[in-house]
Amino acid sequence: MVARIGVLIGSQESEVRSQNSGVRRQESGVIWEVERKLKEAMLYQKQQDGRVFCQLCPHYCLIEEGKRGICQVRENRGGLLYSLVFGRTVTQNVDRVEKKPLFHFYPGSNSYSLATAGCNFHCQYCTNWQVSQMSAEQFAEFGVEASPEKIVTDALKTGCRSIAYTYVEPTIFFEYVYEIASLAHSHGLFNLFKTNGFMTMEMLKICHSFLNAANVDLKAFRDKTYRQFGGRLQPVLDSLKFMKALGIWLEITTVIIPGVNDENQEIEDIAGFIAQELGVDTPWHITRFFPAYKMENIPPTPLEMLYKARKIGLEKGLRYVYFGNLLGEGNQDTICPNCGKLLIQRRGCELVENLMQSDQCPSCGILIPGVGLSHQISEDLT
């Protein structure tokens, strides 16, 4: 784990295409570390004037020589775009897959979870802001070397079924993801994203070869709110629809924040989009907000607001609506939408009992959507 480092990246408008305010390297010892770990980026175009056009996420940064993109971890050097975070992590953990959260993907299995630094958003309620807003210089100091081969080896040694790219946005360390995930796929491991969904179709086309499941944050259904977080709504909706078309297993998370995205109409719009565009069998995780980062003055989500959101989701036809950050009997259980029988019992992110013996309800026989639902609880975390 990393120390609590809080150097923040200044706000940028999400549609800005020319990036002129990149952070320069200043500490000679750290400069060497950053330069030593350079990896030429994927998905960019060289420009005749020496700038580079990044095509990894919908910010589409046009980056001048010596400057960085909005994510602060991709830099133009000599007319070439480089990733500054390849081959190092700030955290590696073995988590239950439910922690992502993914409730309909090999329940109870372990997922080898990792992150670098950086993000293409700057959400004011980020719970991992010490890492997501960390500079490349700080990352070079605190990050730990970990080759793709070592990551995959460690995942196999710890009995994990999957590798999860999580804690920060995996899009911004895509070169690292690509090499790990390709190797993991060849060794029979699944690959999972916990993502904000702000990525290009070009990137998703590459992901199609190795990405098995993703939990995507649908943070709001108002573009104004997304712009406050440093993004835009429509690219996220487009990514969700494209991931669905590619056959990637999807689950959606929405953190309900008082005064930000808690109006009935907006919640109805979110639930309606999920039902109509992604399907009524898409799990929706309604998550309780707790004060964090730049939103420490906002109170936790009232329980009645969460119950209201769940009611709206069910009224829109969603069959699997779960609560996050809210312990309580039944809040994380999977129930058959046809006969009402308990299928998978959970306590928070821990699986208590899995009654599934196949992909069908053992009581009424209806097909339950998901991947590997009959998987039994794996060994305890090591």
Looking at the DSSP assignment, which residues form a beta bridge with residue 215? 194, 251
The C-alpha atoms of residue 53 and residue 269 are separated, in whole angstroms, by 34
What pairing do the DSSP bridges indicate for beta strands 62-63 and 18-19?
A: parallel
Which tokens is 290 given?
A: 């707790």
Q: Write out the DSSP string of 5-71.
A: --PPPPP--TT--EE--PPPP--HHHHHHHHHT-EEPSSEEE-TTS-EEE-SSTT--EE-TT-B-TT
119 appears as a binding residue in the annotation: yes
Q: What's the chain's Rg over C-alpha atoms? A: 21
Q: What are phi and psi of 313, to 5 degrees?
A: -60, -45
123 appears as a binding residue in the annotation: yes
71 appears as a binding residue in the annotation: no
Nearest to 94 by CA among 146, 36, 162: 162
For the chain, give the longest Cα–Cα distance: 67
- End-to-end Cα separation, the chain, in angstroms: 17
Instruction: Report the binding-site residues for [4Fe-4S] cluster.
Output: 119, 123, 126
Instruction: Report the binding-site residues.
Output: 119, 123, 126
